[in-house]
Chain A
Amino acid sequence: MSVNHAQRVDLEVIAGLIPPQSRVLDVGSGDGLLLELLQETKQVDGRGLELSQRGVNECVSRGLSVIQGDADKDLEFYPDKGFDFVVLSQTMQATRNPKLVLDELLRIGKRAIVSFPNFGHWRVRLSLFVKGRMPVTKDLPYSWYDTPNIHFCTIRDFVNLCDELGATVEKATALDANGQKIGLSMPWWFWNFFGQQAVFLLRR
């Protein structure tokens, strides 16, 4: 198992939300880390959709059931409620139409799990406020002109979008810079300030 715990602690949080033997679609499955984790620890029936051909070929050669496709275009081909869970981990900010993608996730999956970097994190705010520069951190290493991440949002923005789409937030977790869960009792503004990334479990 090659999951880099420091970097992708959200994967463990996601895996914790998924019961064994579930049918799972991982949208933006990358090199297949989450699918592999879910197959080994939860014996899920897992599928992946990944944009990069290299990622796909790598996944398939490791025995994962992954196809090349675009979250913005190819989700329409999946039937309603065909999966127990549809996961969008650290991918939403790279889609052209996050609202449409989220809508599709809620259609295809009985539940949707979305993890994303929080653009409301204090470091991001500080970078803009103090330096007046678009933030470049070790988690968001791209410059503004070459980033694939075209639709950043804050935790608050995301909660609003869920409301707009009529999605119910069943569970939400914010992780701080050390990958530690932020206490559940904390208010949204606190999460929005100290959460470096967030994981949401949604249904409609």
Chain B
Amino acid sequence: MVALRAGKTNNEADEPSSPVLRFGADKPLKLDAGTLLSPFQIAYQTYGTLNDARSNAILVCHALTGDQHVANTNPVTGKPGWWEVLIGPGKIIDTSRFFVICSNVIGGCLGSTGPASTNPATGKPYGLDLPVITIRDMVRAQLMLIDHFGIEKLFCVLGGSMGGMQVLQWASSYPERVFSALPIATGARHSSQNIAFHEVGRQAVMADPEWHGGKYFDYGRRPEKGLAVARMAAHITYLSEAALHRKFGRNLQDREALTFGFDADFQIESYLRHQGMTFVDRFDANSYLYMTRSMDYFDLAADHGGRLADAFAGTRTRFCLVSFTSDWLFPTEESRTIVHALNAAGASVSFVEIDTDRGHDAFLLDEPELFAAINGFIGSAARARGLST
């Protein structure tokens, strides 16, 4: 188990446990901010074997605080990969059949260039000197990784939440490189309410005196309290009122009665504090700022004159969208807007809304209906792609 170092630099940021693809001065990453990022690196994990035709590759895009460790034990937390319920040998996304790739996004903190990475110009972490990263920047970098593997067309690109935004960006920017796309619990733009939640999180980080204007590495400190509060607030948005009530109700935490103080009297308080505390052990505070910003800036229709259908004009990609009834971060209407745009573009699209009280995070959980939909969609796409079963 590798811990994020509280000191000058973060091990996983510069020298991750994952394979790393490094791009030198000859191959800069063009950023939407208008600058070039160079040199830069992408940390990634792969599972399974790329077939001779290079037609069985699936790219998994991770969410806000996810990473490339989608189906292996996470080196930082020691926990199973974040989508091991779905991906692995003999699972719905069968790694004995498909070649699965998952890379840490640009701006992340687990080995792809991000604010915790060492800035070669200063020898210190970038901090806020890193330009703001967009979803499109992340996808542009992923394309360079896919090119490195010599993959002409990805069989499938899938992901939930921020990962779903990347899926939509892939399908829009590089339709000829995506055979099928599976965006889950996501939207074509970040809503005002979602930007508001993110702003609360960022302000919590920046209000922590240990943040030091983003240069906390210089002081050997980390804004743990601010980041933990940000995570606590965000975590509420990943669940639902019904699920919170079902799991915690008004139950008291290890006590018989209210204490008339501000300790964690309620189980939900204790739970959120735990979520906040464990998060700061695995995530870089500046990276959290960059990740949330990338989602806020995402607006696929705006990139196409305000008409979302034009983002998918002429697409041949097969789409399957999934939403969850209790997701109030990306309600079903967000998916339906995308479905209507895809219909207008004449695209092949399936759309499943799953009835669950588990909120936005349902996409990470063992949801049989989600798995049945993914299984059916991947299966029919594989037949259309001529992949053997």
Contact = CB atoms under 8 A, between A and B. Distances in A.
A67 B376 contact: no
A170 B373 CA distance: 38
Contact of A79 (B346, B348, B373, B375): B346
Interface string B244-266: 00000000000000000000000
Query: Chain A contact residues: over half helix, strand or loop, or mixed?
Result: mixed
Q: Which of A60, A65, A74 has the most CB of B within 10 A?
A: A60
Contact of A60 (B320, B340, B348): B320
Given A68-B351, A68-B352, A61 B375 contact: yes
B350 A53 contact: no
A57 B373 contact: yes
Nearest to B322: A60
B376 A62 contact: yes
A66 B377 CA distance: 10
A96 B44 CA distance: 52
Q: Which of B320, B341, B343, B369 has the most CB of A within 10 A?
A: B343
B147 interface: no
A77 interface: yes
A148 interface: no
A67 to B, nearest CB: 4
A65 B318 contact: yes
A124 interface: no
B344 A61 contact: no
A82 interface: yes
Taking residues whose C-beta sits less than 8 angstroms from the other chain, chain A's interface range is 20 to 34
A60 B373 contact: yes
Contacts of A79: 343-346
Given A53-B355, A65-B318, A60 B350 contact: yes
Given A56-B351, A57-B354, A63 B383 contact: yes
B16 interface: no
A64 interface: yes
A38 B350 CA distance: 17
Q: Which of B340, B349, B350, B377 has the most CB of A within 10 A?
A: B350
Nearest to A57: B352
Given A53-B353, A67-B349, A77-B344, A61 B318 contact: no
B372 interface: yes
A68 B353 contact: yes
A72 interface: no
Contact of A61 (B343, B355, B376): B376
Contacts of A78: 343-344, 346
Interface in A45-96: 45, 47, 53, 56-57, 59-69, 74, 77-79, 82
Interface in B342-376: 343-346, 348-355, 369, 372-373, 375-376
Contact of A67 (B318, B351, B377, B383): B351
A69 B380 CA distance: 21
Contacts of A65: 318, 348-350, 380
B340 A64 contact: no
A61 B318 CA distance: 15
A63 B352 CA distance: 12
A188 B321 CA distance: 45
A63 B377 contact: yes
Nearest to B344: A77
B348 A47 contact: yes
Interface of B: 318, 320, 339-341, 343-346, 348-355, 369, 372-373, 375-377, 379-380, 383
Which 7 pairs across A and B sit closest by C-beta, in order of nearness? A63-B380, A61-B372, A67-B351, A61-B376, A77-B340, A77-B343, A63-B376
19 contacts: A45-B348, A47-B349, A53-B355, A56-B353, A57-B354, A57-B372, A60-B350, A60-B351, A61-B375, A63-B377, A65-B350, A67-B339, A67-B350, A68-B353, A69-B351, A74-B340, A74-B343, A78-B343, A79-B346
Given A45-B348, A65-B380, A66-B350, 11 more contacts: A47-B348, A53-B353, A57-B352, A59-B350, A60-B350, A65-B318, A67-B350, A67-B351, A78-B343, A78-B344, A79-B345
